[in-house]
Structure 1
């Protein structure tokens, strides 16, 4: 299979979609590609760096609390953040607290990264 299946590849896809969302917020959405691959990778690298820097800062502040969480909890948090993005979009960006779509996308990326790390470091045992 050329496309990986399972939880880990889904988290990888979520990271990529989150970064694409951040790039679209910065550049605007288009119907056809309007940047070359090198420029796209440059934007991707910049946004993944910003997101992982935030992840490391939060990891420091919260003392690696994510390590004691279940992988399913990351999925729940990602779904909550997606719901929040939809709510912000429904209100055309008018929110009571100072959070925006980009902050939620970065959190989504980071929860997915936590899931990837957790799955990579944990021995998964069959339940049957």
Structure 2
């Protein structure tokens, strides 16, 4: 598969993730512990949503229901651009990685965010680093969901 195929599968995953979002599957009181719980439970859709919500909180400080779909779509567009750039630069390296390696990278990024946030005086200086980690977490979770699609009956999701 070429990276464009990954973009198509990325869209298929987003359609399914957006179904949960549009049907009220959102916890507005998101924190990094919810991300950890999602990883430990293998709830990758929740991990995508919590990553986006965390990015939205960084942008607005308060998530407002009237802007949620606009903000959600904006964060997902940014994440997709990052995914396409990195996938092109690294020749879809994620496909050669084991499931446990991807999970380990996600956990590492969550712990990195927590470490930065513990040092509050550095947070303003490191806002972009935190946001970049949330984008990476989101994209790796989507890669796991893509793997799940590839291993299941792909036609039932179309």
Fold-level match, TM-score > 0.5?
Answer: yes
Q: How many residues are aligned here?
A: 113
Distance (Å, rounded) in 2 between the aligned partners of 1:114 and 1:82:
17
Stretches of structure 2 that go unaligned for 5 or more consecutive residues are: 1-24, 26-40, 153-158
Residue number among 84, 87, 103 corresponding to 2:115 in the alignment: 87
Larger RCO, structures 1/2 (Cα 8 Å, 6+ apart): 1
Query: Between Structure 1 and Structure 2, whose CA radius of gyration is higher?
Result: 1
Residue number among 125, 142, 147 corresponding to 1:113 in the alignment: 142
Q: 1:93 touches 1:100 (CA, 8 Å); kept in 2?
A: no
Q: 2:116 touches 2:126 (CA, 8 Å); kept in 1?
A: no
TM-score norm. by structure 2 comes to 0.64
Aligned-residue RMSD, C-alpha: 2.6
Note the C-alpha offset of 1:64: 0.6
Note the C-alpha offset of 1:74: 1.5
Q: Please say if 1:60 is aligned against 2:88.
A: yes
4+ long deviations beyond 2 Å: 34-37, 93-99
Whose helix fraction is larger, Structure 1's or Structure 2's?
2
Distance (Å, rounded) in 1 between the aligned partners of 2:51 and 2:128:
16
Q: Are the structure 2 counterparts of residues 35 and 87 from structure 1 closer, same or farther at C-alpha, using a change threshold of 3 Å?
A: same
Distance (Å, rounded) in 1 between the aligned partners of 2:126 and 2:57:
23
Distance (Å, rounded) in 2 between the aligned partners of 1:22 and 1:98:
10
Stretches of structure 1 that go unaligned for 5 or more consecutive residues are: 124-128
Note the C-alpha offset of 1:78: 0.7
Note the C-alpha offset of 1:112: 0.3
Note the C-alpha offset of 1:36: 3.0
